[in-house]
Amino acid sequence: LQHNGTIKRWAYIPVAQGIVATPFQLQVDEGSRVSMGARLASAPAANVTLTVARVSGDADISVFSGANLTFTTANWATPQTVNFQGSEDADAANDTAAFSLSAAGIATETVSVFKLDNDVPQLLITPSALTIGEGQTSGLTIALSGPPSAPVTVSTARTSGDTDLTVTSGSTLLFNSANYDVPQQVQLAAAQDPDTTNDAAVLTISAPGFISRTINVALPDDDATPPEITTAAITSAVINAPYSYDVDATGSPAPTFSLTSHPPGMTVDPISGVIAWTPAGLGSFNVTVRASNTSPTPATQSFSIDVLADTPPEAHITQPSDGQFVSGNNAEFYGDGHDDVQTVRGEFYINDVLVYTDIAPGGHYHIGGTHNLWNTTLLVNGRHTLRLTVVDTAGQTDSETRTIYVANDVTNYEAWKLGNFTTTDLANANISGDAADADADGYSTLLEYFFGSDPKQSDAPGPQAGLDSGRMTLSFTRLAGATDTTFIVEGSNDLTVWSSAGITLQSTTPLSGGRERMVYRDSSVVPVRFGRVKVMR
C-alpha cells in the first residue's frame, strides 16, 4: 500500500490462545445453582478439552455440570455452560470456593464462587417451659445452632408476669465460634409471697441477629388452701354397663380422694379421683366423695345415680338419602348408631343381603370401612333397598332403610323406570312412556310418583276442562287457611334439578272437614317428567 510516497504492508497477527470465562466471580444461594459461560479466545488447530475443577475452598460448592467441555474449530467461539451448585449444609456461615479452568497448552484461568448461606443461627433452649415452686430455684441451658460470624451476647430477662421470678445468674452469656454449641446455664428463682395464688411469668431470650425466644414459667403457690370439688357428678348409669366419673378438685397441696358412702363394688382412685362402678341392679344409689389435703376442712360431694335398663340402639343412615340416584365404584353408604351404652358394629344390607359388617369404635359406620368404598357397578340399574342395622353391647338392634336408584351408564329417569316397572310395563308406552296415562283419566300418572303412590295409579281428580294429558297435573288436599305449613310444587326432567318455574295453580276447591283441593299444572315451554310437593313447616 502506497501512501504519501511510503510503502506499507498489513499483516494478520494471530491472537494468543486463551480461555474466556464470563463472569469470573459468581454468587449462589445455598441449595441453588449458578451458571457461567466459557469459550476459547481463538480458533484451535485441533479439538480442545477444557476441564473445570475446584482447587480450594468449601467442598459444599461443586461443579454440577460442564466439568469437561470440548471445543472444535467450528464451536470455539460459542460459550458453553458450566453449572455450579451450592449444597445445603448444617452451619450458618457463608462459603467460598475457587475453580480452575484448564486445557493442555493454554494458560489456566480461575473463577471464584461465593455461596450465601440460608441458615439463620437459632437459640437452642432447654427446657421449652418451666415450673418453679414458690421459694424454689431452677434453671435452663442455652446454646447456638451454628457458629456466629462474630462473638454474640445472649440476654435472658423476665418480660412479663409475676415479679417473684428473677434471673439470679446467667442473665448475659457470651458465645463465639469456638463455644457456640456448649450449653451455658441460666439460674432462676421464685420468691415466696404472702398470697395463695398460682402465678406465671414469661422469660425472653434474645441476641443480636437471632430470633428471640420466649419461655413460659409456671409459679405454683406453696401456701395450703382447702380443697374444692369443681366437677358436676354424672347421675345416670345403665345396668351391667361400666360407669365412670372423674372427680376434679382444687387445693394446695393437691387433694386425695375417698368415698364415704357408695353402693357395693364402687371404687375411687385416690390420686386421679376417677370413680368406677358396674351396677348390677336397677334403682337409685347414693354416693358421697371426699377430697382431702392438709387443710382441716375437706370438700365433699353427694349425689344419687339412677341405674336404668339398657335401651335398644337407634340406627341412622346419613348417605344416601331416600330416593337418591347413585352410581360408580366410589359411592357413599354410611351412618351412625346411637345407644345409651355404645354400639359395637354396623351391618350393611343391600336388598336384604348382608354385604359388609363394620366394627369401629365411636358408633360411626361405613360400608367398606371408610368413605367412598361402595361399588354400585356390582348392582343392576334400578331400585334397591338399603338397610343399616346397628348392634349394641347387649345384642339389641335397630335398623333404618333407604330406597335408592342405581344409575350406572343410564340416565336417572331410565334408572327410576327400571326400578318401578316390570318388563311388560316398560314395553308399554301407555304405562312407562314419558307421558303415560295408565288409567286414561287425562293425567300423566307417571309424573305423580313423588306423592308416594303406585306410578300406574293416578292421584288426580277427574278430567279438568282445558287441560291436556301431555302436561303434568298434580292434585293434593290440605287444611284450608293453614298458615304454619307451606306447600311448594316443583317439576323436574331428570329427578336431580327441581324448579317451580312454569308450575301454575289451576284451581282451589273447598272440601268438607275444613280442607281444600289444590290442582297445579305444568305450563313450562318444555314439559317436565316428574312432579313433587314439598311440605315445609
Residue pLDDT, tens place only, 36-76:
999 998 899 899 999 999 999 999 999 999 999 999 999 99
The pLDDT-based confidence of 15 (bands split at 50, 70, 90) is: low
Q: What are phi and psi of 285, to 5 degrees?
A: -130, 130
**DSSP labels, 265-277:** T-EE-TTT-EEEE
Q: How confident is the model at residue 431 (pLDDT cuts 50, 70, 90)?
A: low
Distance, in Å, from the CA atom of 159 to the CA atom of 263, rounded to the nearest integer, reads 54
Share of the chain above pLDDT 70, in %: 87
Q: Is 320 helix (H, G, I), strand (E, B) or coil?
A: coil
Place of cell 337407634: 314
- Does the N-terminal peptide bond of residue 463 adopt cis geometry, omega within 30 degrees of 0? no
pTM: 0.46
Write out 329-394 in H/E/C secondary structure.
Answer: CCECCEEEEECCCCEEEEEEEECCEEEEEECCHHHEEECCCCCCCECHHHCCCEEEEEEEEEEECC
Report d(CA 123, CA 341) in Å as an integer. Answer: 51
* Residue 292, C-alpha cell as written in the block: 382431702
Please give the residue that has the higher pLDDT: either 339 or 12. Answer: 339
Asked if the peptide bond before residue 253 counts as cis, ω within 30 degrees of 0, the response is yes
Average the pLDDT over 404-412 and give the result: 90
Pairing of strands 106-116, 25-29: parallel
pLDDT level of residue 446 (50, 70, 90 thresholds): very low
Q: What per-residue confidence (pLDDT) applies to 436?
A: 55
**What is the widest separation between alpha-carbon atoms in the chain?**
139
Q: How confident is the model at residue 94 (pLDDT cuts 50, 70, 90)?
A: confident
pLDDT digits (tens, 9 = 90+) for 330-339: 999 999 999 9
- Return the pLDDT at 30: 87
Report the SS3 class of residue 529: coil
As a whole number of angstroms, the distance between CA 396 and CA 415 comes to: 36
Reported as a pLDDT band with limits 50, 70 and 90, residue 439 is: very low
Q: Which of 157-161, 398-402, 464-468 has the lowest mean pLDDT?
A: 464-468
Lowest mean pLDDT among 139-143, 402-406, 429-433, 454-458: 454-458
Residue 89 has pLDDT above 80, yes or no: yes
Kindly report the CA angle at 252 between 247 and 255, in degrees rounded to 5? 35
Phi, psi of 446 (to 5 degrees): -60, -30
The residue among 303, 255, 299 whose CA lies nearest residue 277 is 303
Give the residue, 468 or 162, on which the prediction is more confident: 162
Q: How confident is the model at residue 196 (pLDDT cuts 50, 70, 90)?
A: confident
pLDDT mean over 288-296: 95
Residue where the block lists cell 310418583: 449
CB 81 within 8 A of CB 68: no
Confidence check: pLDDT of 456 > 70? no
Mean pLDDT of the chain: 86
Q: What is the mean pLDDT of residues 134-150?
A: 91
Q: What is the pLDDT of residue 12?
A: 44
Residue 434: predicted pLDDT: 60
Band (130; pLDDT cuts 50, 70, 90): very high
Whether 293 shows a pLDDT value over 50: the answer reads yes
Residue 427: which residues within 8 A CB-CB, separation 6 or more?
none
Contact between 475 and 461 (Cβ < 8 Å): yes
Q: What is the reported pLDDT for 441? A: 44
480 pLDDT more than 90:
no
Residue 253 backbone phi and psi in degrees, to 5: -65, 170
Which range scores top for mean pLDDT: 251-255, 432-436, 526-530? 251-255
Query: Grid coordinates representing 320?
Result: 344416601
Return the exposure string of 378-403: e unless at least 16 CB atoms fall within 10 Å of the residue's CB, then b: ebebbbbebbbbbbbbbeebbebebe
For position 475, what pLDDT does the model report?
75
Whether 239 and 281 have beta carbons less than 8 Å apart is answered as yes
Q: Is beta strand 19-22 parallel, antiparallel or unpaired with respect to 32-40?
A: antiparallel
C-alpha separations of 194 from 134, 197, 293, 496 in Å: 10, 9, 20, 73
In this predicted structure, the answer to whether residue 176 has a pLDDT above a threshold of 50 is yes
Number of CB atoms found within 10 A of residue 243's CB: 18
- pLDDT (0 to 100) of residue 7: 53
Which string of b and e fits 324-354 if b means at least 16 CB within 10 Å? bbbbeeebebbbbbebbbebbbbbbbbeeee
d(CA 464, CA 280) in angstroms, rounded, equals 69
What per-residue confidence (pLDDT) applies to 292? 96
Least confident of 165-179, 333-347, 460-474: 460-474
What is the arithmetic mean of pLDDT over 496-503? 83
For the chain, the distance separating the N- and C-terminal CA atoms, rounded to the nearest angstrom, is 113
pLDDT over threshold 50, residue 451? no
Confidence of residue 513 (pLDDT cuts 50, 70, 90): confident
Are 535 and 486 spatial neighbours (Cβ–Cβ below 8 Å)?
yes
The confidence band for 384, taking pLDDT boundaries of 50, 70 and 90, is very high
Where does 386-484 have alpha helices with state H? 412-420, 423-426, 429-432
